[in-house]
Amino acid sequence: MANERIPKLRSLTFTSGNIRNLAADCEQLNIRGAVALHQEVRLREISTHGHSSFHSLVVVHILKNTGACVLKDFCVIDELSNAGNLKLLHGKITKINNSGKLTIEQSLQVKQFHAIGIVKAKEIKAEQFHLKLSGRSVVEQLTADEIYVEKDKLSISLVKKKLVSKCIKGENLHLSNTNAELVEGGIVTVGDNCFIDTLYYTESYSISENAKVQHIRSKEK
């Protein structure tokens, strides 16, 4: 059994073109140029490097992007790794590791969200959300059980490393370098360089000397 070979995925590689009839037995899709997919895609793995666009439903176990990729319809992904520029409309993802720029035009449901870089989103709902800022990120509505927002100390940026949000809600919140209109949580830690208009808490809160909170209100569970 030790010498048993793991069968290779049946893969296809495209460097250009508009694809409308992907082979039915394809399990892995490699994009290495300017490629547009105009059909529903259900695969084990997608690897994109170049300029790719998906115009219909995408269901995939692993998506790796190191180029510029656009998902224009709903997506269902187990593991997403982005080191380039990825834009998606809306979808459900189990695990995200982002080290590039990630844009969510509508809403995203995700279990584990780990990002170093820049995130722009209308709405994110997560179980765990961890963002290391390398520039200015905007998440209008952010909801998660655990939220950690901090500055990435390794990256150099000409613009301020800041998260801007209308509403942040969760159970355990650890925020720094964050501007928010409303923050609501159970245990809330407001760290350095935060400006929050209204803070609601159900258990406890702490505020750094280098942060400003305009209004603080206790809220029953």
Q: For residues 124 and 129, give the distance between their C-alpha atoms in angstroms, rounded to a whole number.
A: 9
Looking at residues 108-137, what average pLDDT do you find? 96
Mean pLDDT of the chain: 94
Burial bucket for residue 55 (CB in 10 Å: 0-12, 13-18, 19+):
middle
| Predicted local distance difference test score (pLDDT) of residue 1 | 42
Confidence of residue 187 (pLDDT cuts 50, 70, 90): very high
3-7, 51-55, 111-115 — which is least confidently predicted?
3-7
pLDDT above 90 covers a percentage of the chain that reads 88
As given in the structure block, the two tokens for residue 41 are 């895609």
